[in-house]
Structure 1
Amino acid sequence: MSFDVDPQRDLVRITLAGFFAPDDVARFVAARDAAHQQLRCGPNAHATLVDMRAMQIQSQETVTAFQQVLGDPRQASRRLAFVVARSLARLQIRRAASERQAAYFTTVEEAEAWVTGR
């Protein structure tokens, strides 16, 4: 898991890979909150790009945990894009993000162009 914050563009880039246990989701939330502290924009004014092409299929418990994270309106992005492989993981993130307006892409370039409006 890695975070790259671009305060000039109000953009948070997240890369997720592998398998997540519930404790990993808690670590993700802490890292995400730290990344949001680096932004200069107001709450919910940032954009987020999540590259999860290297993420494995997750347990139902982990999908539910991510669903709760994504459902928290206090940390919601104005735009949210996921870069996903064509696999079951794509279906899992769609289910986890069902409460959010999000877009799904197969390349980082397409996702970043959409999420930044360029």
Structure 2
Amino acid sequence: MASCCFTIDVEPDLHLACFRLAGTFAAADVERLIVERDRAFHALTSEQNRHLALVDIRQMTPQGLSGFAAFGQLLLQREPRALRLAFLIVTNLASMQAQLAAHGRGAQFFFDEDQARSWLLAHDNPPLAFPVFVSGNGAGA
């Protein structure tokens, strides 16, 4: 049985959604998180996929297979997707699982919240946290 909780706060002036996750999540819990994440992203004033996300997982416990798989699928979703994604972590198995699930996502991992926020807010036009595919006539490809 999963025992988890999460909160999501938005800072519209910074185009930032701050997630705090704790405990062990089942797949159904991740589905609830996705619904609330979508509400939070819609509350931001930035264009879709131009917002920032700070995810504090310092209170998460190691995830079971269903929760780990659900988080992996969440991080693979193309829409909606944060432009920059930073995780606050501690050294534990749950953080290692997050790093595995976010592999290839362009996420950064921090032990300090101020450093994470500085990285998120460092650039007016930060690099995308996912690959950009350009279609066209093939010139320059």
| Residue of structure 2 in register with 1:87 after alignment | 92
The reply to whether residue 2 of structure 1 matches residue 4 of structure 2 is: no
* Normalised TM-score (structure 1): 0.96
Structure number with greater CO (CA < 8 Å, separation at least 6) is: 1
**Aligned residues: CA RMSD:** 1.0
* Normalised TM-score (structure 2): 0.81
Aligned-partner SS, 1:93: helix
Distance 1:82 1:72 in 2: 17
Task: Point out the structure with the larger helix share.
Answer: 1
Q: 5+ unaligned residues in a row in structure 2: which ranges?
A: 1-5, 124-141
The reply to whether residue 77 of structure 1 matches residue 79 of structure 2 is: no
| Residue of structure 1 in register with 2:55 after alignment | 50
Distance 1:96 1:27 in 2: 19
Q: 5+ unaligned residues in a row in structure 1: which ranges?
A: none
Q: 1:12 aligns with which of 4, 13, 17?
A: 17
Aligned length: 118
| Residue of structure 1 in register with 2:138 after alignment | none
Are the counterparts in 1 of residues 24 and 67 from structure 2 also a CA contact under 8 Å? no
How far apart are 1:100 and its partner, in Å?
0.6
Aligned-partner SS, 1:44: coil
How far apart are 1:91 and its partner, in Å?
1.0
Are the counterparts in 2 of residues 47 and 78 from structure 1 also a CA contact under 8 Å? yes
| Residue of structure 1 in register with 2:30 after alignment | 25
Distance 2:17 2:122 in 1: 14
The reply to whether residue 109 of structure 1 matches residue 76 of structure 2 is: no
Identity %: 36
Larger Rg over CA atoms: 2
